[in-house]
Structure 1
Amino acid sequence: MAALLDPTILATLPCFEAAARLKSFTKAAQALHLTQSAISQQIRQLENRLGYSLFVRQPRGLALTSKGTALYQAVAGVLGDLKQVLQELSEPDAPLQISCPPSFALQWLMPRLHAFQRLHPDIGVRLRAEFHALDRNALETENIDVAIRYTPVTADASHWRVLLDEYLLVVASPEYLRRHPPFATKDWFSSIVLLHDAEPWEGAADLIEWETWLDAVMPGQIDTTKGLQFNLSSLAISAALNHQGVALGRSTLVAEELATGRLVAALGQRIRAPAKYVLMCRQPHAHRTSAFVEWLSYECAQFDQARNT
């Protein structure tokens, strides 16, 4: 039996991993910038040292034997972990890159980041206010470690993890409501200025959040096309704070204003939003990333519990 840490075996494992992953010696050679014959020689050497076959040679490619499959799973995990550690060690002082919707960053995440810094003073953070669509490839090309988005969760979004649900409620300043005492009637809505986040996520239908709330509470009665439209929830919230009208606030984004009394929930109905906050990571097992995600998940759970009590 071959020695467990036989240098000959260890030297051949990168070639084996590439060939097993790509199901081709030719493609493995291209990926590793070697010749096809060099890959074949490495695999033969590995199989000879182990004493059993790893591949079944087929007319249209390679298939792994049962032992080859077991070895590939182990090797792929080890090489992946090694690559991750080497990348972390090569950039020890690089900040954790977090891409986050501007309003969520301003109203919820940024005020809490000092708590993460107290727990992990060795981890720098760069918060990027962005809301363009992302996928895993974009995380790599844009060097994003953690991405947070507010978006509907569909069946094909399995690469995203739900972070936090969202709810919609009608909010305004106490001064504005003194001038416009709130009633869930068509006449009251006709007398106020609606403040809109016109595009809460990329590709959202026009005025979707007000439409969602009104369809649940007063279906078919209110014209939502009037009022002021903004491209950020923070701007609609700011307009409400400046007594310019009535906004449809997301409970996550207006929690502080409601707690301090700067905004008031004008009507009692809280309606589930058509979107959620979701999370995706480039390297979820990296120390910096896992530390941030663990902290963020805890903060979200605490916030969710507080707003539902």
Structure 2
Amino acid sequence: MFTHLPPLNSIRVFEAAARLKSFKAAAAELNVTPTAVSHQIRSLEDRLGTLLFERKTRAIELTEEGEKLAQAAYLALQQLSVVLEDISDTQTTLTLSTTSSFAAMWLVPKLEKFHRLNPHIQVIVKTGEQLDDLEKDRRIDLAIRYGQFKGEEANRIELVNETLGLYATPEYLESHARISDACLIETKWENTNLPVISWDQYLGKQHKPANIRQFDQEHHVIQAALAGQGIALVSSLLVQTALQQGWLTEYDKKHRALGLTYYLIIPPHSKHSRKVTLFRNWLTDELAVNG
């Protein structure tokens, strides 16, 4: 019935090259050489008797026939992947993209709970401040983003709105009763698209602090506070573990303010994935209890 179809591997290679618009990028995703990708594409074109790509000096573009095949290949491989995952009893991998601070201070300390509930799913956490292209990179199953949330879309789900507070070690607060005598620690975002959150906003220009220390990652701010270096202006979500363990304490609850939002992005290739659904449900439940 399907004897006329080309080998599945050639379709897989073609789909990656079509989605990424690059033989080199497809080779990196598939862990093969660009030459191997080029050979597979050429063999597929010879078998079909039509060109699928227009080769240009520094780029490739799909032909009309290539566009048709790319859409069909993507849908077919997506459906096949979902079914294989659903019926398989072997361990599967879920790759999550998120910020370094959220991973280090909230997610990783809690992942053991998810593993106990779902021992067949291995979670790989990919961090960085550069946003991954989730539609092109099918190795990433979902992403947790941070910033201003502009309303739910089909693939964007609000997780939690953070509260900002002031935190330091109990010992530091005992020896620095007045905030004007303390070292004040804040985050200066590496991502300039994020709105500024600073001590100036909290204290006002008439009480401009004299001693401010800045880091470009929130988990560095928290680590500085844990080391007894000052009072940190950070998300209450990220200091949960430190508060529960008594390593940090809150300076003054009257200084709390609404911060930004953590939200989930589920790319099209993951929307029917069972492992993604399991992780999403666990994440929302955990944040509802501990958010």
User: What band does the TM-score fall into relative to the shorter chain?
Assistant: 0.5 to 0.7
Q: 1: distance between equivalents of 2:211 and 2:154?
A: 37
Q: Structure 1, residues 76-112: CA drift from partner, whole Å, max 9, x if none?
A: xx96873442574899655210112111111111111
Label 1:209 to 1:301 Cα distance change in 2 as closer, same or farther (>3 A): farther
Q: Structure 1, residues 251-289: CA drift from partner, whole Å, max 9, x if none?
A: 11111222222111111222110x111111221220111
Q: 2: distance between equivalents of 1:158 and 1:226?
A: 45
1:176 aligned residue = 172
Give the TM-score, by structure 1 length: 0.63
What is the deviation of 1:132?
Answer: 2.1
1:132 alignment partner AA: Q
Label 1:28 to 1:83 Cα distance change in 2 as closer, same or farther (>3 A): farther
**Residue 196 (structure 1) aligned with residue 194 (structure 2):** no
2:258 aligned residue = 272
Label 1:130 to 1:225 Cα distance change in 2 as closer, same or farther (>3 A): farther
**Residue 260 (structure 1) aligned with residue 245 (structure 2):** yes
Q: Is the 8 A contact 1:150 1:200 kept in 2?
A: no
Q: Is the 8 A contact 1:168 1:209 kept in 2?
A: no
Q: 2: distance between equivalents of 1:278 and 1:224?
A: 33
1:164 aligned residue = 160
What is the deviation of 1:32?
Answer: 3.9
Of the three residues 123, 126, 129, the one matched with 2:124 is 126
1:97 aligned residue = 95
Q: 2: distance between equivalents of 1:106 and 1:165?
A: 18
1:199 alignment partner AA: W
Give the TM-score, by structure 2 length: 0.67
Q: Secondary structure at the match of 2:109?
A: helix
1:31 aligned residue = 67
Label 1:234 to 1:30 Cα distance change in 2 as closer, same or farther (>3 A): closer
Of the three residues 112, 126, 135, the one matched with 1:114 is 112
**Residue 208 (structure 1) aligned with residue 197 (structure 2):** yes
Q: Is the 8 A contact 1:165 1:276 kept in 2?
A: yes
Label 1:30 to 1:239 Cα distance change in 2 as closer, same or farther (>3 A): closer
1:85 aligned residue = 82
- Runs of 5+ consecutive residues of structure 1 not aligned to the other structure: 1-6, 12-26, 35-74, 183-187, 305-309
Of the three residues 141, 156, 159, the one matched with 2:137 is 141
Query: How many residues were matched structurally?
Result: 226
Could you list the structure 1 runs, at least 4 aligned residues long, displaced by more than 3 angstroms after superposition.
27-30, 78-81, 86-94, 155-159, 209-212
Q: 2: distance between equivalents of 1:87 and 1:131?
A: 33
What is the deviation of 1:123?
Answer: 1.0
